[in-house]
C-alpha cells in the first residue's frame, strides 16, 4: 500500500509538472473554470478534464484539447454526481419537511413541544443526510475513476466492483484515513482562499488561479488511491 505522504506528494508533483511548469495549460484551465462557473456547470469543461486525469494512471498530465469530448465527459461526471447525491437529498428534504411542518404546528399550538420536536426532527434529518453524504462521497470518488477508465457511464454504478477495488487495494481503513487527511487539507485550503478573497482584486485572482490546481490535485489523489499507487 502506498503511504499517505507518497500519495499526496505524487499529486503535488503532478500539479507542479503538469500545470505550473506548463503554465499555458494552467491558463487554459483557468479560463475553462471561469466558463464552467459562469454557466453554472452547464459547460463543465474542467470536469471533463478531471475525467481525463482520472483515466490516466501515469504521472503525465493530459493535454487540454478535444473540447467536445471534454464537454461530454464533464456532463457524464455531472450525471454521476447528481444520481449519487439523490439519497442524501431525499433524506434531507423528507426530514426537513417533517421538521418544518412540526415547527409550524407548534406556532399555532398552545405549547411549544411540537415546535421543539420539529427542530429536533429537522436537526436529526440534516445529521443523517450529512452522514449519508459522507458515505456516498467515499464511493463516488472512486466511481469517477472507475467510469473514466472505460468512458462508460454505467460503470460508475458498478458498486460491487468499486467497493471490491477499495478493499483489495488501499483497504477501507486506509482509504477513510486518507480522505480525513484530504478533508483537513481542503479545510485549510478553504480558509486560505477565504482570507485571500478579502484582498481586493489580488485575492480573487488568487482564487481563480488556485482553484483549478486544487481540483486537479484532488483528482490525482483519487486516481492514486484507485490504482493503489505511487
User: Which residues, including other chains, have CB under 8 Å from residue 8's CB and lie 6 or more apart?
Assistant: 181, 185, 221
DSSP 41-91: TSS-HHHHHHHHHHH--SSSPPP---HHHHHHHHHHHHHHHHHHHHHHHHH
**By percentage, how much of the chain surpasses pLDDT 70?**
86
**By percentage, how much of the chain surpasses pLDDT 90?**
67
Of 171, 194, 222, give the one whose Cα is nearest residue 11. 222
Q: Are the C-beta atoms of residues 180 and 120 closer than 8 Å to each other?
A: no
Tell me how far apart the alpha carbons of residues 44 and 37 are, in angstroms, rounded to a whole number. Answer: 9
Q: Give the Cβ contact number of residue 155 at 10 Å.
A: 17
CA-CA-CA-CA torsion for 94, 96, 97, 98, nearest 10 degrees?
Answer: 90
The secondary structure of the chain in percent helix, strand, coil, rounded to multiples of 5, reads 80, 0, 20
Residue 103 has pLDDT above 80, yes or no: no
Q: Give the Cβ contact number of residue 92 at 10 Å.
A: 19
The whole-number pLDDT of residue 109 equals 56
Tell me how far apart the alpha carbons of residues 17 and 213 are, in angstroms, rounded to a whole number. Answer: 11
pTM of the model: 0.89
Encode pLDDT of 185-195 as tens digits: 999 998 888 88
Of 55, 53, 44, 42, give the one whose Cα is nearest residue 19. 53
User: Which residues, including other chains, have CB under 8 Å from residue 217's CB and lie 6 or more apart?
Assistant: 11, 12, 14, 15
Encode pLDDT of 15-43 as tens digits: 999 999 999 999 999 999 999 999 999 99
Amino acid at each position: 500500500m502506498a503511504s499517505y505522504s507518497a500519495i499526496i506528494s505524487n499529486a503535488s508533483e503532478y500539479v507542479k509538472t503538469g500545470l505550473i511548469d506548463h503554465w499555458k495549460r494552467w491558463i487554459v484551465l483557468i479560463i475553462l473554470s471561469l466558463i464552467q462557473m459562469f454557466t453554472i456547470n452547464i459547460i463543465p469543461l474542467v470536469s471533463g478534464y478531471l475525467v481525463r486525469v482520472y483515466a490516466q494512471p501515469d504521472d503525465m498530465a493530459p493535454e487540454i484539447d478535444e473540447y467536445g469530448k471534454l464537454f461530454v465527459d464533464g456532463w457524464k461526471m455531472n450525471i454521476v454526481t447528481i444520481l449519487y447525491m439523490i439519497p442524501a437529498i431525499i433524506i434531507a428534504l423528507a426530514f426537513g419537511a417533517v421538521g418544518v411542518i412540526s415547527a409550524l404546528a407548534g406556532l399555532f399550538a398552545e405549547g411549544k413541544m411540537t415546535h421543539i420536536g420539529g427542530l429536533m426532527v429537522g436537526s436529526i434529518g440534516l445529521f443523517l443526510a450529512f452522514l449519508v453524504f459522507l458515505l456516498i462521497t467515499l464511493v463516488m470518488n472512486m466511481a469517477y475513476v472507475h467510469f473514466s477508465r472505460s468512458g462508460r457511464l454505467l460503470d460508475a454504478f458498478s458498486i460491487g466492483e468499486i467497493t471490491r477495488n477499495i478493499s483489495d487495494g488501499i483497504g477501507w481503513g486506509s482509504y477513510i484515513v486518507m480522505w480525513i487527511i484530504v478533508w483537513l487539507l481542503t479545510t485549510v485550503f478553504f480558509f486560505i482562499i477565504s482570507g485571500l478573497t478579502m484582498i481586493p482584486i489580488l485575492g480573487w485572482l488568487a482564487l481563480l488561479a488556485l482553484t483549478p490546481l486544487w481540483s486537479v490535485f484532488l483528482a490525482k489523489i483519487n486516481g492514486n488511491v484507485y490504482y493503489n499507487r505511487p
